[in-house]
Structure 1
Amino acid sequence: MDSIGDFRDTDCETRRSFICYHSDLYGQTYSKYVLVNLQKSWREAQSYCRKSYTELVSVRNKEENCQIQKLIPAGDVSYMGLFKDAFVWSDNSTSSFRNWHSSQPDGSGDCVVHLRQSRLWDDLDCSQTNPFFCYDRTVVRQILRIKVESDQNVNDPDITATILQEIKQKLIFQGLSAHAYLQWKQQTNGDVFQREEKTRKT
């Protein structure tokens, strides 16, 4: 951001001052935005803010833009938290967490490794062979019995699919993972529901 509040793109290795965001912790009052008048690359600035404050500043609306703009000396340009990142998680997670080594990513590849000694990240060619991490999928099986009252044929595939989807949405609302897999337990004749005849009172 420049001193008139406009955004500019720049090479991340260019050394500039930067603005950190500082959250209010344990009831202590801090200045929310802090101009750090040290010349650092974007990655170095990000690391500095994370160690000394909270994070490089994000701008979410015009009011915040004005507050941050006032900190930048006339004619100067300072780093903020917005950056271009083409890397995405393979499970489509929207996490914005990044833990790059100070000189990375350097464009040497489209895949990311976790460096053993520094515990930071590096990009490399996807054809290289390396150890890898997997999620351990814990399978928990639970059977639910439900009773349905309807004048329609509830064993109709469209109806059973709709009922299952509604059950899943309610369970997700109560804390079930959206990736959980639900299925009907079918009887030997292929039906899901068993008709229960009502007994007439005499």
Structure 2
Amino acid sequence: MDSSGQFFDDSCVTLRHFICYDGKDQSYVFINMAKTWRDAQRYCRQYHTELVSVRNKNENLQIQKLIPAGDKVFIGLFRDAYMWSDNSKSSFRNWHPNQPDGSGDCVMQLLKEHNLWDDDQCSNPKPFFCYSIMKKRQIIKMVVKSDQNVNDPGMNMAILEKVKQKLEEMGMPNDTNLEWKQSSEGIFRPLMR
């Protein structure tokens, strides 16, 4: 961003001043040190919160006032072709200095070097981490007082729907699966997954 409030693209390894956002006192902080974009990001994350994001015209004007006339500074916007394999939209990056350097299309984590990232050939064998989703299973026991047959499939569905509605009102996620489980005594009970 320049002192007139205009955005432009530049190499991430150019040395520039930069502006951090400090979430503690909700302010923008001009840093009068020349750093690469990645080093500026690392500095902001260490001493403030993050490189500044410009989300509207008012923020653009506030940030513009901090930029010395004729100067250009790094802000938090960047173009990054790397995507997470699960298609999540995280902008977090933790690159080793001067990385990525174009040496590969896949990203590895350097565990011996402060867990920083490096790009590498996807064909190079490496150990890896998998993401595991914890599933919670809970059994709910309840007593249904009714003159109707609670083992009737239509009645089962109506009861499950009412139980699900009550649990959602109490904060249960609406994508929770409820089903009936038959106990050893032959009694059907709702099962929450």
Letter in 2 for 1:50: R
Name 2:20's counterpart in structure 1. Answer: 20
**Alignment match of 1:170 (pick from 152, 168, 171):** 168
Higher mean C-alpha deviation, range 136-145 or range 35-44 = 136-145
Residues 71-110 of structure 1 mapped to structure 2, 5 A cutoff: 71-110=66-105
Contact 2:18/2:32 (8 A) holds in 1: yes
Residue 52 (1) aligns with residue 47 (2): yes
What's the TM-score once normalised by structure 1's chain length? 0.70
Higher strand share: 2
Q: Is the 8 A contact 2:168 2:174 kept in 1?
A: no
Query: Aligned AA for 1:170?
Result: E
Other-structure match for 1:131:
127
Q: Quote how far apart the aligned CAs of 1:36 are.
A: 1.2
Quote the sequence identity (%): 52
1:190 corresponding residue in structure 2: none
2:110 is aligned with 1:112 = no
Residue ranges of structure 2 left out of the alignment (5+ in a row): 147-151, 183-187, 189-193
Give me the whole-angstrom Cα distance separating, in 2, the residues matched to 1:177 and 1:83: 36
Residues 12-56 of structure 1 show CA distances to partners (whole Å, capped at 9, x for unaligned) of 1111111111123xxxxx581111121111001111111222211
Which amino acid in the other structure matches residue 2 of structure 1?
D
Q: Whole-Å Cα distance in 1 between the matches of residues 17 and 91 of structure 2?
A: 23
Q: Quick one: distance in 1 between partners of 2:173 and 2:123?
A: 37
Residue deviations 1:163-197, cap 9 Å, x none?
Answer: 59x76x938x825495xx6263488xxxxx9xxxx
Q: C-alpha separation between the residues in 2 aligned to 1:145 and 1:108?
A: 58
Give the aligned length: 178
Cα deviation for residue 68 of structure 1 reads 0.6
In 1: Cα distance, 2:99 partner to 2:172 partner: 37
Question: Contact 2:105 / 2:121 at 8 angstroms: preserved in 1?
Answer: yes
1:5 aligns with 2:8: no
**Residue deviations 1:55-102, cap 9 Å, x none?**
111111111100110111111110001111222222333322211111
Corresponding position of 1:121? 117
